[in-house]
Each structure stands twice: as C-alpha cells, then as structure tokens.
Structure 1
Amino acid sequence: MAEDSHEGIDQAANATKSATDRAANVAKDAADKMRAGAETARQTFQDKVVEPAQRAGEAMKASGQKIAEGGSNIGVKMIDQAEQNAREAFTAMREAAAAKDLSDVMRIQGDYLREQGNRSMAQAKEIGDLIMQFGRDAVAPLRGGGTGQE
C-alpha cells in the first residue's frame, strides 16, 4: 500500500509539473507575443512620428539659416547701393560746384538725374532678384530641396 501511495503521489506530482510547464509555456508565448507587438509598435512610432518630426525640425533649422543669410545679404547689398549713390551724388555736387556757368550746372544735374534713374532701376532689379532667391533658398529645405539654386 505504501508503494501505491508513492506511485499515486509521483503521478500527481508529474501531472502537476506537466500542467505547470504547460501554463509556463503558454505564459511565455503570450509574453513573447506582447514583446513582439510592443517592438512593432515602437518601430512604427519611430518610423511614422519620430523620424518625420526630426526631418521637419532639421528642415526648419536649415530654412532659418537661409533666412538669416538672405536677410544679411540683402541688407549688405542695400548698404553698398546707398554708398554708391552717395558717392555719385557727391561727385555730381563737386562737378556742379566747379561749373563755369548755369548751363553747365543744369547739364551736370540732368546727367546725374538720368544716371541716377538708370542706377535706381538696376539696383531695384538687383534687390528684387536677391529677394526672389532669398525666398527660394528659404523654402528649399522645407520642400526637401538642396540649396535652392536653380
């Protein structure tokens, strides 16, 4: 009878161990599936949210740099043009001061005004071209472009 008891206890222990192993395997499989699902969700979030946000941030930074550079270039060009216009005006005033008569002064003024009109139109076109390039350069990084040079 003791032998029957030991055999019954061994069978019950084996059945319990087998049931516990099956339950552990089921729990492990479920945990592995959850881990795989979580990794898939993390990778999808990385691909769909994080990386596009990083690219957008980089494009905004590049665009901001282009805006700063473009604004600086336009400002420098306008100062150069103002300096040139001032030199031309002083040159004309010196010539007028050295003129022999009123008709000479009128000719100098007429020449200066004509040249200044032509210069102003050329300068306005130059500034307009710089502003257009500035705009293209500023939005190129946002469009995924390179330098904006076309």
Structure 2
Amino acid sequence: PGQQVAANGVPVVDIVAPNARGISHNRYSNFNVGPNGLILNNSAQISKTELGGYVAGNDNLQRSGAASLILNEVTSASSRLQGYTEIAGAKAQLVIANPNGISCDGCGFLNTARVTLTTGTPNLGSDGALNGFSITGGALSIGSNGL
C-alpha cells in the first residue's frame, strides 16, 4: 500500500486494488494506529473524512474501483490500535489480522459495516475469496480506554 498524509497530519494509507472478489489484500510488517487515527483510502476520487478532512484520491483504485473488504495482514510485531481507523470513500468491511497479537486501547472504527480483529493468518482461496483464518496463538487485548 502507498501512503500520504492528510492536511492535519493524520496518516492516510492508499490501499491496494481489490481482486475480482472485491478484497484489497494489504500486507504490512508493522501496523499501528496512533491517538490521531489512521485513514484507509478506499476512493479513487477526493473524499471527505471525519479524521482528516479532504484527502486526495487513491490512484491504486483508478481501474478497479473501491474494495468491499479491506484485509490488513501484519507479518511481524504485534499491533497497537490507540485511535480511530476510518475508511475514506466507499464503506467496506475491515479485517486486521496479526498472528503476533493486537492491542486495542481507545481504538474505534468509522465508515465500516463490519470489523474483524484476529490473531490468525488469512486463508485465501484460489478464486481470491477469504475462506477464514488459521489461528495458532497471539493475544487480542482491550485496554482501559476500550474499543
């Protein structure tokens, strides 16, 4: 995925183009959300967000259009979610999958129909569908600032 920054400093991730099943599979070595939040850009056009005001369009989506499911797969350190994650543009389901663990302490989600936090590794079928997760460990914790 690409990155930009909103005018007020909130980080913006330009998600990768979705596959034929509408899944944008984004891979990260580290994925954290600070107190100021994070915007996942699911629009090829300029869009207005709650967290960052107007953000530029995501060039990765010019041909494909928006994703219906944004899969964020993390491959190394555990994730700390300390602020809101907002999907810019079209509403989509959001999955954050980190087998090393996820800590939510003041996290929240905007413009998404469904959120899945898992310590599993995603299983994608040959047709590109998300068929589930392989879970072998990891911890999902909710801190004192809640979800």
TM score, norm. by length of structure 2: 0.18
**Structure with greater proportional strand content:** 2
**Structure with greater proportional helix content:** 1
